[in-house]
Amino acid sequence: MDIKQFERISKALGDPHRIRIMQQVGKSPGCMQCADIVEMIDLTQSAISHHIKQLTESGLLIAEKQGRNIKYAVDKDVVDTYTKFLQQLKG
Amino acid sequence: MDIKQFERISKALGDPHRIRIMQQVGKSPGCMQCADIVEMIDLTQSAISHHIKQLTESGLLIAEKQGRNIKYAVDKDVVDTYTKFLQQLKG
DNA sequence: CAAATACATTCAAACATTTAAATAATTAGA
DNA sequence: TCTAATTATTTAAATGTTTGAATGTATTTG
């Protein structure tokens, strides 16, 4: 992982709404849809769409289109790679 | 670790200068001083002081005063606690 | 095909972060 | 004590992020 992607992921994790989205998607393996997230968080659909975009663009979430819905999942490999970079900071 | 501290740490890690500071402090165990960081990064002393403040306030760096210098070290426990929170996001 | 559903995009306003200049505070050494 | 060295703070400008309203784009269903 390069420093730029580490930065992008850290930024994506630096917002309470996005942290909550990650927690919920993590808990609901494979079956979390955007509409569910909209119900869960007190923001407009637009704002949530922006947040999800940051999470998918950083690589933390994988989006899979299913008809007119989208299913999200946490990319565990990305979390692990990020974790490794982080651990290296300990020296 | 609560969600608020996780957010603070993520934010602190969401900047390329601060990532570099973490990397260098990690590599130079116990003997990194502010002046060394100022030499390393092409920013004013003021800007670097602000960045270091974010890193210490998030808990990532421990500052130890030594005369008129300050010695920095990575708080490995904080990194580990953050890592655990992160791993929980995988579900 | 028309209407409804689900999500994305554009844009502008509100808000937050980053940076440097100037200045302050603390400490060491002459 | 006076001066130099090291780090912190205040302030203001520039830049970046977050948010919602409005609108757009697919896709399903009647």
Structure-derived torsion over alpha carbons of residues A21, A54, B78, B64, reported in degrees to the nearest 10: -140
* Residue A33 pLDDT class (50, 70, 90 cuts): confident
Per-residue pLDDT tens for B37-85? 877 899 999 999 999 999 999 999 999 988 888 999 999 999 999 999 9
From A11, A22, A91, residue closest to B89, measured CB to CB: A22
Nearest residue in chain A measured CA to CA from B13: A10
Residue B21, CB-side half-sphere exposure with 13 Å CA sphere:
34
Alpha-carbon gap, residue A65 to A77, rounded angstroms: 20
| Correct CATH for B3-88 of 3.30.56.10, 3.30.1300.10, 1.10.10.10, 3.40.50.2300 | 1.10.10.10
Q: Where are the domains of chain B?
A: 3-88
Per-residue pLDDT tens for A10-32? 999 999 999 999 999 998 865 56
From A3, A83, A90, residue closest to B19, measured CB to CB: A3
CB B66 within 8 A of CB B58: no
Check whether residue B68 has its CB closer than 7 Å to nucleic acid strand D: yes
Neighbours of B15 (CB within 10 A): 17
Alpha-carbon gap, residue A20 to B74, rounded angstroms: 27
Reply yes or no on whether the pLDDT at B87 is more than 80. Answer: yes
